[in-house]
Amino acid sequence: MLFCKGGPKADLLIRGARCLDPSESLDGSFDVTVTRGVISRLEPAGSRPDRNGHRVVEAPGLLLTPGFVDPHVHLRTPGREDEETIASGTRAAAAGGYCAILAMPNTEPVVDSAAVLGALVESARREAEIPVGFLAAISKGQRGGELTEQVELADAGALGFSDDGHPVESAGLLRRGLQYSAVAGRPLALHCEERTLSRDGQVHEGEVSAELGFTGYPSIAESAMVGRDLGLAAHEERPLHLLHLSARESVELLRRAQADGVRATAEVTPHHLCLTHEAVRSLDPNLKMNPPLRADGDRAALIDALRDGSIGSIATDHAPHARHEKEVPFEDAPFGVTGLETAFAALYTHLVVSGLISLETLLARLTAGPAGVYGLKPPRLAVDAPADLVLLDLSAGVTVRESAFHSRSANSWLLGQELQGQVRLTVARGRVVHEL
């Protein structure tokens, strides 16, 4: 269940773009007609001069693909509306080419009851620019003590459950949560961190943390928990989604579990795909995130897993923070960076242009992959599909600037960087939600 405000459905004729949808094996120049928000015709470019009253978007040289789905966003609402609101976060998502995003429940208060979730759903219906879905907490207050009411929450709209921001420390509680998740049929999404190993750690334990003097946050703090959680999922024969993987060892465990038939999915963030711990040498608080940026070998393993599909989703983990909270020494800054508005350009520039993955793979991991994790219909470029589209200019260079952000926060790791790939038009659920 996704929620957004209503509005006029678009009548569009997008002419001459290269249309690429890996899930439909579609790649060629087409004229795409959208009628009342639904793709009504898909014809070879130039074959349909008839506008039929539709607004025409001339798009030769541009790329039209299914809109992106972000399975991991922090909208900071309720509680920290100074950092992000449903309106600002979904507006930012629209600017990033997203047609659906999922919000994490680690808000103030935590989304752990149908009452809190119901209020969010109402707000989303009023102010969400693009469809937004909600995850609810696994445990009440995300305190790791008692399970939330999964069935009532699922009925109220929860697409899945997560204590993101915190690991589920008790293996016993997670086991019960997995068992019980069979009733509501919604997946559990896990932040894997063994806190007795990561304690006080801010930077990947390795050469950079040793040199800079940071307490190391070792890879084993993640992979030990990944191993435990995959073991539980195997034992209970329940699906499991692993949030924001960062370590090579975690990828190896995931692959082994998948080969053994465990229904495990996983996501990775743009920053873990594009950067390593070397970037932390600048001591810029916008390079501080949990899990931390890791070594070259970890980044390579994540890219490999993205390529072969072991990791099926790219998630921004968009984590807005107030300016004054990040304008402090690195060690005092909170974890997290924004990402909705820059994800495509960052990934296109650092992974596709540099030849590490194909454009098709990138698009699959930004669309069908994350949609599948939570049982959403993947956006498609096909006749009769709802218009969830993004029109991209791959040749356009963009300098990332704070003044261009729609998010209420600007804690981006990309500020000032020159990237390639610009979102020109986003259509979500048949409405034009972003246009340059």
Partner 1 sequence: MTEMHLVADELVPPAGPERRHLLAIGDLSADDVQRLLATARSFARSLEREMKKLPTLRGRTVVNLFYESSTRTSSSFELAAKRLSADTMSIKATGSAVDKGESLKDTALTLGAYEPDVIVVRHPRIGAPHLVVRHTRAHVVNAGDGKNQHPTQALLDLYAMQEALGRLEGLQVAIVGDVLHSRVARSLIQALRLVGAEVLLVAPPTLLPRGIEALGCECSFDIGAIADADVVYALRMQSERMQEGANYVPSLREYSALWSLTPERLRPGQRLMHPGPMNRGVELDGRVADAASALVTEQVRAGLVVRMAVLYDLLVHGPVEAKVTELEAVA
Positions that interact with partner 1 (CB under 8 A): 205-216, 218, 282-283, 285, 323-324, 327-332, 402-403, 405, 408, 410
Q: Smallest distance, Å, CB 202 to partner 1?
A: 8
Our CB check for partner 1 shows the closer of 2 and 95 to be: 95
- Can you tell me which residue has the tokens 């993955």? 357
Rounded Cα distance between 129 and 119, Å, is 17
The answer to whether 159 and 1 have CB atoms below 8 angstroms apart is yes
Reading the block at residue 145, the tokens are 């003590």
Burial 156-169 (b: 16+ CB within 10 A, else e): bbbbbbbbbbbbbb
Residue 334's Cβ-count burial label (10 Å; 0-12, 13-18, 19+) is middle
Q: Smallest distance, Å, CB 428 to partner 1?
A: 24
Q: Smallest distance, Å, CB 398 to partner 1?
A: 18
Residue of 70, 298, 317, 388 marked active site: 317
Q: Is 31 one of the catalytic residues? A: no
- Please give the biggest Cα pair distance in the chain: 66
Q: Smallest distance, Å, CB 286 to partner 1?
A: 12
Residue 4's Cβ-count burial label (10 Å; 0-12, 13-18, 19+) is buried
Our CB check for partner 1 shows the closer of 24 and 325 to be: 325
Our CB check for partner 1 shows the closer of 47 and 215 to be: 215
Cis peptide before 218 (omega within 30 of 0): no
Our CB check for partner 1 shows the closer of 283 and 396 to be: 283
The answer to whether 121 and 5 have CB atoms below 8 angstroms apart is no
Q: Smallest distance, Å, CB 357 to partner 1?
A: 29
Our CB check for partner 1 shows the closer of 237 and 332 to be: 332
- Distances from the Cα of 136 to the Cα of 5, 40, 153, 154, 207, angstroms: 21, 36, 7, 8, 38
Q: Which residues are catalytic?
A: 317
